[in-house]
Amino acid sequence: MSIGEGQLRETNGRAATEDWEQSIGDAIRSLRLGAGLNQAQLAERAGVSIGSVKGIEQGKGSTLRTIIRLVRALDREDWLDSLAPRVTVSPLDMLRSRQEPRQRVRHTRRRD
């Protein structure tokens, strides 16, 4: 299951934060069950409290650290890569490549 596969309500063209929290919680629950783990086992594997696992699965807020630990414990680091892909090109280099090369203005000297 991917993050965001569930139904997300949109407000001003964007999904509500609460819907994203629930979608992530549903995905983590699905992965946990698919791995044959109960909440306590996942919590132990991830190094978080069982309350944190329960809270996330219920769509309640959590810290980024806890989410990362759970995702890693479920062997889904690809989620993290898709969330924050590694930058391979410098944004400044991209900006520079889009600019027109500077041209010198040549003035011819008049000979009187």
Taking only the tens place, the pLDDT of each residue in 6-59 is: 455 555 667 788 999 999 999 999 999 999 999 999 999 999 999 999 999 999
CATH class for the domain made up of 10-98: mainly alpha
So what's the pLDDT on residue 89?
Answer: 76
Residue 91, pLDDT above cutoff 80: no
- HEC states along 29-90? HHHHHHCCCCHHHHHHHHCCCHHHHHHHHCCCCCCHHHHHHHHHHCCCHHHHHHHCCCCCCC
So what's the pLDDT on residue 70?
Answer: 97
pTM over 0.95: no
